[in-house]
Amino acid sequence: MTYMFDVVFIHAPSVYDFRKLKRVHYGPISDVVPSTPVFDMYPYGFFSLATYLELNGFKTGIFNIAARMVNNPRLDVVKLLKNIKANVYAIDIHWLVHAHGSIEIAKLIKDMHRKPVIVGG
């Protein structure tokens, strides 16, 4: 399935393909944040940004890659990202622990789509 958007918001796991690693040190914050250790909750700001853009005529989407990877161990992230077409890709770095996953997802998207990628927190 191909998805088409003006702007797509993407939430990455804290560590990109944690599924291939035997051991990952997630750090102490994962003990106090109500989420899985890969931080699969995306920021609430995605809702307000997407709503604002939709009200102004832009088609938006939100993809929680982290949760999809947790819920589906066989998920092909590269295939999914190839099927998400957008003019702009916005990736959050919700907390510092997301830096690795967000940067890796941004690299994949930039190589695949050659479109603007915005990474922010």
Q: Over the stretch 53-82, which tens digit does the pLDDT of each residue have?
A: 999 999 999 999 999 998 998 999 999 999
CATH of the domain at 35: 3.40.50
Instruction: Report whether pLDDT(119) > 80.
Output: yes
For the four alpha carbons of 65, 68, 74 and 75, in that order, the dihedral sign comes to: negative
β-sheet with 3-11: strand ranges across: 60-64, 3-11, 84-92, 117-120
Q: What is the average pLDDT across 44-52?
A: 94
State the total domains in the chain: 1
Q: Provide the residue range defining the domain that includes 95.
A: 3-120
For residues 20-55, one letter each, b for 16 or more C-beta atoms within 10 angstroms of the residue's C-beta and e for the rest, the string is: eeeeeeeeeeeeeeebbbbbbebbeebeebbeebee
Within 39-92, where are the H helices? 45-55, 65-71, 77-82
pTM exceeds cut of 0.85: no
pLDDT for 65: 94
Give the pLDDT band of residue 20 (cuts 50, 70, 90).
Answer: low
Q: Residue 36: pLDDT above 60?
A: no
